[in-house]
Structure 1
Amino acid sequence: MTAPSHADRARSFNAAAAQYAANRPSYPPALFDAIEELGGRSLTGARVVDVGAGTGIATELLHRRGAAVLAVEPGDGMAAQFRRTHPDIPIVRGNGNALPLATASADFLTYAQAWHWTDPTHAVPEALRVLRPGGALALWWNTTPLDIPWHAAQAVRIEKRFGTHPAVEQNGSGARAALSDPTGLLDFTGHKVRWSRRIPIDTHLANLGSHSLFLVHGPEASTTFLTEEKQLLLDTFPDGIIEETYDVDLLIATTS
């Protein structure tokens, strides 16, 4: 099989938008506390643009914090799911490489699990254009910590079958992309928040299956792997409930 392109992986979510919305993890309140502290202002009343909003998992949480939030999403399927789930939050079509927004119009630009789909040579200048003076660019990823034994064992199995576990791969790749700022004008500060959620094994497997690494390999290959994985997990968690642990890796930079 020819290796899927970056664009193929980015587009793969559109066919799995409902699965993504139902099973992907959220983010802890401590993440948004850190964004406010490091960004130098409250989210309440701030104009926030959530880029690559997907089905709106982060967008909804920003909205609940009192932000005046606008979602930007390029994908047909993801945008349609967003509108079904969050009819009260505005959304426009676009991507981080060419934001459909006025200059100096946002207090925060946020990218939840999305910056690695951009081209920083375009996305960084666009962020600097759209942010107001003193505004903040906040990028974050839920990553899988490999000091948890069952997570580490599963990551090895995924890599043997498909390649690097997507939530492990993003631990580092997103930071490298951000820190390759072509303008030299962004000075990122990093922050990490560990959190966890207890969920049924089937929810965990559906979460895994909603990642592009699985989606681009097609349903047959993914279903075979996930069926095998379910039995292995039941051997370890016979009550059918697991605790997924995440490290949210946050990078944030403010403009002058």
Structure 2
Amino acid sequence: MTTTPHTAARAHSFNAAAAQYAANRPSYPAELMDVVEELTGRPLAGARVADVGAGTGISARVLAARGARVVGVEPGEGMATEFRRALPEVPVVRGDGNRLPFQDACLDLLTYAQSWHWTDPARAVPEAVRVLRPGGALALWWNTTPYDVPWLKAQALRMGRHFGIDVAQEKNHVSRTDLADPTGTLAFTHRTVRWSRRVPVDTHLANIGSHSMFLVDTEERTTAFLTAERAHLLTTFPDGIIEETYDVSLLLARTP
């Protein structure tokens, strides 16, 4: 992506909210790992994997649970600190996808969970090809909002009005292979995996409040939105338990 002062501020905003991020963000379903294994043609058990933009270790935990030999790559100190706290047995190094801290052809799989959009793909794709062994794979995925769930669509539209963004366009962005690889080097396969979790309303609000759009907004505007959003949610979920539904958008490409 093109780096501007605003996007840089959004990228760095997570470090101050790392504990909130770790406590409230959703994980990823086992079915996603099944699809990754299907498309790569090999089990995750024993695979050498680097999880880039590893954050607080949410995706690294899922990969490690499948037996992968994972190392996290994270540019932010606040996020890396939470990663070490959550996964002391998994190494994490400082770095980013535009210049990976690995030797050539050393990895079976390179993963980006909720983080490829913080890279410059024109630089990150050649770096991925460099560090992956022949037959290795680059996997990018995001938890996205399914707009066929009425309450989620309504919430997304409220957020879009608040921030002045086109939420549908933001979602479509993560499944476009031309944006994932503007160099045209890799042939991505796109898959979607739907899953859900049930959480208290406070967890849901803390989850959406941990997104960079909120973190770079003013405290007054963020508080006002989340207070109003609580009222909206309790009309749909009067018991205060929210069923969050996600479509994981996966893009995976194998190296020659």
Q: What band does the TM-score fall into relative to the shorter chain?
A: over 0.9
Equivalent in the alignment of 1:204: 204
Pair 1:143–1:180, CA change in 2 (3 A): closer
Say whether the 8 Å CA contact 2:190–2:250 is kept in structure 1.
yes
Which amino acid in the other structure matches residue 45 of structure 1?
G
Pair 1:180–1:196, CA change in 2 (3 A): closer
Equivalent in the alignment of 2:194: 194
Superposition CA RMSD, Å: 1.6
**Distance in 1 of aligned mates of 2:189 and 2:149:** 26
Measured after TM superposition, the shift of residue 214 of structure 1 is 0.5
% identity of equivalent residues:
64
Q: Secondary structure at the match of 2:175?
A: helix
Measured after TM superposition, the shift of residue 176 of structure 1 is 3.2
Equivalent in the alignment of 1:151: 152
Matches for 1:96-111 after TM superposition, within 5 Å: 96-111=97-112
Q: Deviations over 1:163-182 (max 9, x none)?
A: 3487x665222233764524
Which amino acid in the other structure matches residue 185 of structure 2?
L
Say whether the 8 Å CA contact 1:47–1:107 is kept in structure 2.
yes
Measured after TM superposition, the shift of residue 185 of structure 1 is 2.0
Measured after TM superposition, the shift of residue 221 of structure 1 is 1.2
Equivalent in the alignment of 2:39: 38
Which amino acid in the other structure matches residue 241 of structure 2?
I
Query: Mind listing any 5+ residue stretches in structure 2 that lack a counterpart?
Result: none
**Distance in 2 of aligned mates of 1:213 and 1:207:** 12
Q: Deviations over 1:102-131 (max 9, x none)?
A: 110100000000000000110000000000
Q: Deviations over 1:43-95 (max 9, x none)?
A: 00000000000000000110010000000000111011111111110000000
Say whether the 8 Å CA contact 2:177–2:188 is kept in structure 1.
no
**Distance in 2 of aligned mates of 1:138 and 1:17:** 24
Query: Mind listing any 5+ residue stretches in structure 1 that lack a counterpart?
Result: none
Measured after TM superposition, the shift of residue 13 of structure 1 is 0.4
Say whether the 8 Å CA contact 2:52–2:112 is kept in structure 1.
yes
TM-score (norm 1): 0.95
Equivalent in the alignment of 2:214: 214
Equivalent in the alignment of 1:181: 181
**Distance in 2 of aligned mates of 1:165 and 1:72:** 31
TM-score (norm 2): 0.95
Which amino acid in the other structure matches residue 233 of structure 1?
L
Q: Secondary structure at the match of 1:26?
A: coil
Equivalent in the alignment of 1:79: 80
Equivalent in the alignment of 1:115: 116
Q: Secondary structure at the match of 2:18?
A: helix
**Distance in 2 of aligned mates of 1:162 and 1:4:** 17
Say whether the 8 Å CA contact 2:178–2:184 is kept in structure 1.
no
Matches for 1:154-169 after TM superposition, within 5 Å: 154-164=155-165
Measured after TM superposition, the shift of residue 242 of structure 1 is 1.2
Q: Deviations over 1:172-203 (max 9, x none)?
A: 22233764524322000011000001111110
**Distance in 2 of aligned mates of 1:32 and 1:170:** 24
Equivalent in the alignment of 1:66: 67
Which amino acid in the other structure matches residue 200 of structure 1?
P
**Distance in 1 of aligned mates of 2:66 and 2:12:** 30
Pair 1:123–1:194, CA change in 2 (3 A): same
